[in-house]
Amino acid sequence: MNLTLEIWRQESPKAKGRFETYKVQNISPDCSFLEMLDILNETLIDKIQSPINFDHDCREGICGMCSLYINGRPHGPDDDVTTCQLHMRKFKDGDTITIEPWRSKAFPVIKDLMINRNAFDQIIQAGGYISVTTGGVPDANSIPVNRNDAELAMDAAACIGCGACVAACKNASAMLFVAAKVSQFALLPQGKIEAKDRVKAMVAKMDELGFGNCTNTYACEAECPKGISVSNIARMNREYMCAKVI
């Protein structure tokens, strides 16, 4: 496959960025999207040019590090996959592909396509955990958990914190991420103890960091590589209301 790539280049967080056009040739359709960028970077290095910076780590769709806004969609044109799981066979020979970083005030660009998602870490630090005293490992079945709640909590916990929800949302809202993290604890007995303080702290931090507000367009759910449901947002709305009112 021969492709034309329009890629966002930005030297540093404060530098002015611009799009640059690159041609890549003889790309295998079985190549992953990140491998295609690796091939481009090797040619750039051979020409003593600065390679394109982009986030990646596990390259098997579980770490949440890869990002990239590809042709108008976070993680590209395939559903329920991360960019590292996206294959070039999803494109046509001769295509022009526009590659941009996640755009959000809360996710500043570090360099090129690499963004700072520390805002998500700050939201987790605000309350996305369970306070436990260290000690022996408790018996697995000592606390009964409703099967359905366990499944829903597990579904919410599938969130890898990649930020595609923020990237896809027209308001750059982090509601799906925060809702998934609130839900995974609120559904389980261990998490219910701190549920009220947790949801209040995490929402306050989300607002403080400059994310937008949810207008229920559900682009987040459509683009989430892990298929996190917007029913989690409704659950967080309930949790927050109860925490504030009761």
Partner 1 sequence: MKSILNYSSLSKKYIMAIAGIFLMSFLVIHLAINLCLLRDDGGEWFNAAAHFMGTNYIVKFFEIFLFAGIIIHILLGVILQIKNWMSRPIGYKSGNKSTTSFLSKYMIYTGAVVLIFFIIHFMNFYFIKVGWVESPVPMIDEEPNFYAIAQLLFANKAYSVLYIVLITILGFHLNHAFQSAFQTLGINHPVYTPFIKSFATFYSILIVVGFNIIPLFFLFFKA
What DSSP designation does 32 have?
Answer: B
Contact with partner 1 (CB under 8 A) among 9, 73, 87, 90: 73
Q: Residues 75 to 114: which contact partner 1 by CB under 8 A? A: 98, 100, 103-106
Q: Which stretch binds partner 1 (CB under 8 A): 84-92, 126-134, 181-189, 200-208?
A: 200-208
Q: Pick from 15, 2, 204, 217: which is nearest to 108 by CA?
A: 15
230 binds partner 1 (CB under 8 A): yes
Q: Which stretch binds partner 1 (CB under 8 A): 49-57, 148-156, 180-188, 228-236?
A: 228-236
Computed from CA positions of residues 173, 77, 98, 88, in that sequence, does the dihedral angle turn out positive or negative? positive
Instruction: Pick between residue 35 and residue 221 the one whose CB is nearest to partner 1.
Output: 221
In the bound state with partner 1, the residue whose beta carbon lies nearer, of 53 and 171, is: 171
What's the token pair of residue 65?
Answer: 């590090």
Smallest distance from partner 1 to CB 178, Å: 10
Among 23, 89, 92, 238, interactor with partner 1 by CB under 8 A? 238
CA distance to 27, 82, 106, 202, 232, per residue, from 174 (Å): 35, 18, 10, 11, 12
For residues 22 and 9, give the distance between their C-alpha atoms in angstroms, rounded to a whole number: 11
Phi, psi of 67 (to 5 degrees): -135, -120
Instruction: Single out the residue of 81, 115, 160, 203 in contact with partner 1 (rule: CB under 8 A).
Output: 203
Among 81, 159, 219, 228, binds partner 1 (CB under 8 A): 219
Q: How far is the CB of 106 from partner 1 (least distance, A)?
A: 7
Distance CA 14, CA 146 (A): 50
CA-based torsion, 29, 34, 35, 38: positive or negative: positive
Contacting residues toward partner 1, per CB under 8 A? 6, 19, 69-74, 98, 100, 103-106, 168, 170-173, 203-204, 206-207, 210-219, 222-223, 230-231, 233-241, 244
